Amino acid sequence: MEIQLTRFLCETRFQGQPMGTRHFAKVCEALSSADQGETIHLDFGGAEVLTGSWISAMLIQLLRWAANPEIELFFVLCNIQDNDFIDELGYVANHARVVFLVASGNASSASAIVVGPLEPGQRETLSAVVKAGQVTGAELERLYSASSVKATAWNNRLKDLHNKRLLKRNKLGREQVYRPVVPEISCDG
Amino acid sequence: MAIDVLTVSDIEQIQLAAQNERPVRSFIQGLRKASLPAIIEYGCLRWSHPSLKLPDLPDAIGNSPLGLALKEVRSELGLRTNGPDGATWDRIDPRDYGFFVLNDEAHLESTRWKLFETVYNRSSAKAGFSEKVASQLSVALHEMAANASTHALSSIPALVGFWVCDGLSLFTVADVGIGVYESLRKHPAYAHIDTHAEAIRFALRDGVSSVDPGQRGFGFREVFKAILTCYGRLRFRSGTGCIDMSGADLDADRGTKTFPPHLPGFQVSVCCRCRALKTA
């Protein structure tokens, strides 16, 4: 599913907490028809302004809401041309300890960068999942047997990355199988 | 500064004098001009302290371009409290002065408010600011207005005004609501704050919010971004606290802290110059 924000919200200046709060409600309403586990592309094409207060009132709330197991949605921000917007996303993400997945281009892009803080172990795990395509914690223990990380620790990291909306998962037997939201994900900076 | 110009320092002195029952009327009647922040803070003072019986500003100010622009709006904090709101905001031509009475959050998404912001943006650009800085200034204005409409909890609307002339862009957002101290203290994370000035300093930091600490509170960042590339001054007054900052050092902890007499609400003024003032 793709939402062209400037068209859907009839706005090109995404600024201020009140506007962010209203946009959050409107986007949630539009997502009522989305399927659980679906990836939602939020297209910022045409946006002129993007401020921290809007990001915190709209995007961060959206991520929190989407992490609810009954909702379970994933977001990729796309068509962000302005580097200032990336800087602003990164600044707020660092403060709020969240991450945003930003596509390199439009919704059809197969690659994205993570904007926001990830711990070294989470980076290592994300990189391993991207490389494997889809994987379980037990498989990661086998694949990286030289490291001291056990399946339980891999699973904890995978769960954290799932909560951060970077990995999707589905249950296969007794195990959770994880895969990246987009095929190629790299971490910024 | 000429002595017949009303400044924000004068507002504090007038308040102190009047509260100590010293005469202020002749001083006020002798004024010929006013700065934008001062004329709005005077309105806040008169509204919040009716017992001081402060007089109307003299005609020289009321009939000045600033005064006439302020008379276009009907505001308890302005120069006219009855009659229709005459500021139409149906054109986007640059202008020197503009005022807007902001009723609530919903007002921020009205066409009139958007035109007001656009006019301020264009006026700053015409005054010599780059398009980027002009846009940042209008974003900063929006953030401060949004702040007032969300947190002030005032019984009367906030007043927003701008003044733009060659190389200078200034705006003031004023409310007479609960103020920064009371607003922040609503959240237990800020229960340790014990002065108004300290509350302002905290509020200026990113991620400080009475609603959701760490997750919100990024509005002032836009003000700092706007002023970063030009020469400017910031003034934040609330309760018995006031922080003045120069554009050369945007660390709120190093801003000049003063303790004016109590004025309810929050009054923010942002002044930017695209060229440095010549020094003697």
CATH of the domain at B42: 3.30.565.10
Q: Is B114 exposed, middle or buried (0-12, 13-18, 19+ CB in 10 A)?
A: middle
Interface of A with B (CB under 8 A): 13, 15-19, 22, 48-49, 51-53, 55-57, 60, 91-92, 95-97
B143 — contact with chain A (CB < 8 Å)? Answer: yes
* pLDDT at site B84: 83
The alpha-carbon gap from A162 to the nearest alpha carbon of chain B, in Å, equals 20
**Between A151-163 and A120-132, two packed helices, what is the crossing angle to 10 degrees?**
90
- pLDDT tens across A122-151, in order? 999 999 999 999 999 999 999 998 888 889
d(CA A23, CA A5): 9
The alpha-carbon gap from B148 to the nearest alpha carbon of chain A, in Å, equals 11
- The tokens for A41 are 């592309």
Q: What is the complex's ipTM, to 2 decimals?
A: 0.83
Q: Hey, are the CB atoms on B108 and A92 less than 8 Å from each other? A: no
Residue B278 inside a domain? The answer is no
Q: Is the four-CA dihedral A51, A52, A54, A55 of positive or negative sign?
A: positive
CA max distance for chain A: 54
Contact status, residue A64 vs residue A28, Cβ threshold 8 Å: no
- pLDDT tens across A69-98, in order? 999 999 999 999 888 999 999 999 999 999
Residues of B in contact with A18 (CB under 8 A): 105-106, 108-109, 146, 149-150
- The tokens for A104 are 């390199």
Average pLDDT score over residue span A87-110: 89
The alpha-carbon gap from A37 to the nearest alpha carbon of chain B, in Å, equals 25
d(CA A189, CA A113): 10
**Between B131-151 and B219-228, two packed helices, what is the crossing angle to 10 degrees?**
150
The alpha-carbon gap from B228 to the nearest alpha carbon of chain A, in Å, equals 14
- The tokens for A15 are 């600024």
- pLDDT tens across B29-62, in order? 999 999 999 999 999 999 999 999 999 999 999 9
Residue B85 inside a domain? The answer is yes
pLDDT averaged per 10 residues, chain B (length 280): 82 95 94 96 97 95 96 95 81 92 92 94 95 92 93 94 95 96 88 91 83 73 79 92 79 78 96 69
- Domains held by chain B: number: 1
Q: Hey, are the CB atoms on A16 and B215 less than 8 Å from each other? A: no
B92 — contact with chain A (CB < 8 Å)? Answer: no
Beta strands in B131-279 (DSSP E): 158-165, 168-175, 231-239, 241-246, 256-258, 263-273
d(CA B159, CA B249): 28
B 210-229 near A (Cβ less than 8 A): 212, 214-219, 221-222
Architecture of domain A120-181: Orthogonal Bundle (1.10)
Q: What is the DSSP letter of A58?
A: I
Residue B105 inside a domain? The answer is yes
Domain ranges of chain A: 2-115, 120-181
The alpha-carbon gap from A17 to the nearest alpha carbon of chain B, in Å, equals 7
Q: Which of B1, B4, B66 lies closest to B30, judged by CA? A: B4
B104, B121, B215: best to mutate for the A interface, most A CBs within 10 A: B215
Residue B88 inside a domain? The answer is yes
Collapsing DSSP states into helix, strand and coil, what is residue B273? strand
* pLDDT at site B186: 85
Residue B28 inside a domain? The answer is yes
Q: Note down the domain range covering B211.
A: 5-273
Kindly give the pairing relationship between strand B5-6 and strand B33-34. parallel
Residue B59 inside a domain? The answer is yes
Q: Which of B118, B116, B133 lies closest to B167, judged by CA? A: B133
Residues of B in contact with A48 (CB under 8 A): 135
Residue B279 inside a domain? The answer is no
Q: What is the CA radius of gyration of chain B?
A: 18
- pLDDT tens across A4-52, in order? 999 999 999 999 999 999 999 999 999 999 999 999 999 999 999 999 9
Q: Hey, are the CB atoms on B108 and A16 less than 8 Å from each other? A: yes
Q: Hey, are the CB atoms on B139 and A49 less than 8 Å from each other? A: yes
Residues of A in contact with B218 (CB under 8 A): 51-53, 55-56, 91-92, 95
